[in-house]
Each structure stands twice: as structure tokens, then as C-alpha cells.
């Protein structure tokens, strides 16, 4: 399907919610959408806490979420809600929501946590940090690490 000949420019299958992201992330998303032959951004909504992009293709949206997580340090959540049932095939049609929240720290950063200097070793579903003084390793949640890094990246 040619983007310029889309049946309804308001049509969307999913939403990408960006929270606390940089302009670099937003331009990355726009560039990826322009490169794709069929997927397009049908609506863009600015909010006080971030930006919402409405996309015409669920499959592209899921792939874009994975690319964001690989390219930028952040937290990603995907959810799907039942939207309707196809009249032709009787299949259930879902709308996907991808939330991407960019973190303000990256692997190798050092910050104070509970009065101790810690270095970020790994970021996944949680954060693995190493105490600079004792060498002890500890797991902490993304939210804990984000709060601590916002206060004092060294």
C-alpha cells in the first residue's frame, strides 16, 4: 500500500507512547516511519509528559519498539487490547500500545546510591550495579536506579 494513497489518513492500529525522551529518539522514530513502505504515522499528540504517535501497522510498531530498546537505553512495555472483530474473517483485531521511557543513565555511568558510589554494569529488566569501594554487586529496579541517577550522576 502506498502511503500517499492510504484509505483513511486517521486510521491507526497502535500507539507508541514516549515518556521522558530526547529529541534524538523522536527524530529516530520519524526516520524509521519514513523508511517503511507501508507504515505511517497517522497522528502525533504532544502531552506534558511526552509524545504519543499513532501508527497504521501493529507489526511495524512492535518492531520499532525493539529497535528503540536496542538503540537507546530505556524501559519498554507492550500491551494489546481487543478493538473489534473482523467482519470478513471473524478474527479478533487488537490495538497495540508500546510504551518507551528513556533512562537518564547508561552502562558505565557512576552515581550515588544509599551513600555509596556505584557503577552500572548491565541494564535489562533490572539494573546490575557494582559498589566502587567494596566491589559488591547488587540488583536494583529500573525505577530505583532512575531516581538515584537523576539526583547525582558522577
Query: Judging by DSSP bridges, how do beta strands 14-19 and 92-102 pair with one another?
Result: parallel
Tell me the pLDDT band of 3, cut-offs 50, 70 and 90.
Answer: low
Whether the pLDDT of residue 73 is over 80: the answer is yes
> What local confidence, expressed as pLDDT, does residue 152 receive?
67
Residue 4 has pLDDT above 80, yes or no: no
Query: Does residue 154 carry a pLDDT above 60?
Result: no
Mean pLDDT value across residues 28-48: 90
Predicted TM-score of the model (pTM): 0.76
Cell numbers linked to 33: 516511519
Q: Which residues contact 42 (CB under 8 A, 6 or more apart)?
A: 9, 10, 11, 12, 54, 55, 56
Which pLDDT does position 144 carry in this prediction? 86
Is the pLDDT at 1 greater than 50? The verdict is no
Residue (of 109, 136, 104) closest to 122 by Cα position: 109
Name the residue with cell 519498539: 65
pLDDT of residue 99: 93
Amino acid at each position: 500500500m502506498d502511503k500517499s494513497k492510504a484509505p483513511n489518513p486517521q486510521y491507526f492500529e497502535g500507539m507508541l507512547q514516549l515518556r521522558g525522551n530526547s529529541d534524538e529518539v523522536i527524530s529516530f522514530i520519524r526516520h524509521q516511519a519514513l523508511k517503511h513502505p507501508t507504515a505511517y504515522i497517522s497522528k502525533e499528540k504532544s502531552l506534558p509528559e511526552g509524545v504519543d504517535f499513532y501508527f497504521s501497522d501493529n507489526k511495524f510498531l512492535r518492531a520499532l519498539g525493539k529497535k528503540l530498546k536496542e538503540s537507546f537505553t530505556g524501559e519498554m512495555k507492550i500491551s494489546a487490547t481487543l478493538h473489534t472483530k473482523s467482519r470478513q474473517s471473524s478474527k479478533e483485531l487488537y490495538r497495540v500500545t508500546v510504551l518507551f521511557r528513556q533512562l537518564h543513565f547508561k552502562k558505565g555511568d557512576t552515581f550515588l546510591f544509599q551513600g555509596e558510589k556505584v557503577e552500572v554494569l548491565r541494564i535489562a529488566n533490572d539494573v546490575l550495579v557494582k559498589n566502587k569501594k567494596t566491589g559488591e554487586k547488587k540488583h536494583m529496579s529500573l525505577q530505583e536506579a532512575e531516581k538515584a541517577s537523576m539526583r547525582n550522576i558522577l
